[in-house]
Amino acid sequence: MAEQIERVAVTEVSAARALWPLGLSMALSLMGDATLYTVLPLHPAEAGIALGSVGIILSVNRVIRLATNGPAGWLYDRVADRRLLFLGSLWIGALSTAIYALASGLPVLFFARLLWGLAWSGIWVGGNAIVLEMAPEAQRGRWVGIYQVWFFFGSTLGLFGGGVLTDAVGYREGLWIGAGISAIGALAAVAALSDRHGGSHRARVAAQPLARGLGWRAVSPAMWAIATAYGTNRLVAAGVISATLGLVIQANVGSEFQLGAWQIGVASVTGGLLASRTLISLVGAPFAGMWSDAAGRRWELLALSLGLGALGIGLLAAPNVGAVIVATVVGAAAAGSIQSLATALAGDLAREKQHGSNLGILYTAGDLGSAIGPLAAYAIMPLAGLPIVYIACAALMVIVGIWTAIIGRAA
């Protein structure tokens, strides 16, 4: 018995050590994608596209993931060695960034973005599935939270670092460096996913019959509630707020913000607030995960986080700079918490360790929400005004929070 306990402890320690390079590889894979969001609107001519095509290029990777997340999750549950899929996805992601650097014209850049969407399905769904597989059940929220930290770190690094690189060395040269950084991340994953972390999954897959489909009809009400919560969070945070925060700042401070002797442009203020949201979410995600492990009340915390998210976006409707700052802090903390808690709950609900399928559903809902958010916001604004958009989002989060609490009691 003592030897068995010691073996389990050694396995958990080695898996914990693998979590950090695994997260690093995922974070660095975002370098090219995040850089494009920063620099492509400023350098469309260098990419060989018209300014009107920028939106297409920046959104098509999300659209394709609506079709690839589910199959990616199914594959991760069925293949004998899921590490090969993850590593392959990382290298495809690095290749897509290299194509960005080479591409001149809409067709090639469009293809590269499709390639990145496919790669990110494998990286994000697969990476989280591997984390859920390695994590001790009593520490699942903490492990997932740490992995989410790497996501927010990678987004911040790419958005800020990509812009700095472009200013320093140029558009194409910056993307080439980004491709090299992503490749370094893939090498880190090779070191992280050594053979000792793959045996249990290979044995489990060998003992299971081959599933005939993705099982969408068999999804439980609890899983639908989690996916709806996650999708709503992405719709609000990654969709509506990211696309409209600049309008709120402009309405409150005009074209410039006076800070002592300094005059700061509205774009800089908006960028600073969006970056601060990412940093606050970076703290909120692991905190919520660890708290849910200790309290054992993940459903209640998810419902509470949705309520805080509703408060955050509701405050944006107030014509007051102070309210905007409070909204940024509260909303960002809630967004990071929801992302972490929903992923951990998807792992809690997985039957026969089929984490990939649940994560495929979860992240498809997230991509759908983030794609719908800007479209819905800019369709409603001319008819009802931006404050009504925010109030409607707050009401939606409250409704989903109540539904989540009800489902959680029955789960």
Three-class HEC string of 323-378: HHHHHHHHHHHHHHHHHHHHHHHHHHHCHHHCHHHHHHHHHHHHHHHHHHHHHHHH
Bridge partners (DSSP) of residue 264 are: 257
Residue 342 is predicted with a pLDDT of 93
The per-residue pLDDT for range 297-337, each reduced to its tens digit, is 899 999 999 999 999 999 988 877 788 888 888 999 999 99
Does domain 10-214 fall under CATH 1.20.1250.20? My reply is: yes
> Exposed/middle/buried for 82, CB within 10 Å: 0-12, 13-18, 19+?
buried
Residue 280 is predicted with a pLDDT of 85
* Boundaries of every domain in the chain: 10-214, 215-411
Taking Cα atoms as reference points, which of 195, 203, 185 lies closest to residue 89?
Answer: 185
If one counts every other C-beta atom within 10 angstroms of the C-beta of residue 47, the result is 24
The per-residue pLDDT for range 55-91, each reduced to its tens digit, is 788 888 888 998 999 899 889 888 877 788 999 999 9
Residue 5 is predicted with a pLDDT of 36
If one counts every other C-beta atom within 10 angstroms of the C-beta of residue 409, the result is 10
Answer for the pair 158, 34: CB distance below 8 angstroms, yes or no: yes
In CATH terms, are 10-214 and 215-411 the same topology? yes
The per-residue pLDDT for range 197-238, each reduced to its tens digit, is 444 444 444 444 444 444 555 678 899 999 999 999 999 988
Pairing label, strands 256-259, 262-265: antiparallel
Global pTM value: 0.77
> Exposed/middle/buried for 349, CB within 10 Å: 0-12, 13-18, 19+?
middle
The per-residue pLDDT for range 354-398, each reduced to its tens digit, is 778 888 889 899 989 988 888 888 888 889 988 999 999 999 999
> What's the chain's average pLDDT?
82
More confident residue, 95 or 146: 95
Please give the class, per CATH, of domain 215-411: mainly alpha
Percentage above 90 pLDDT, the chain: 34
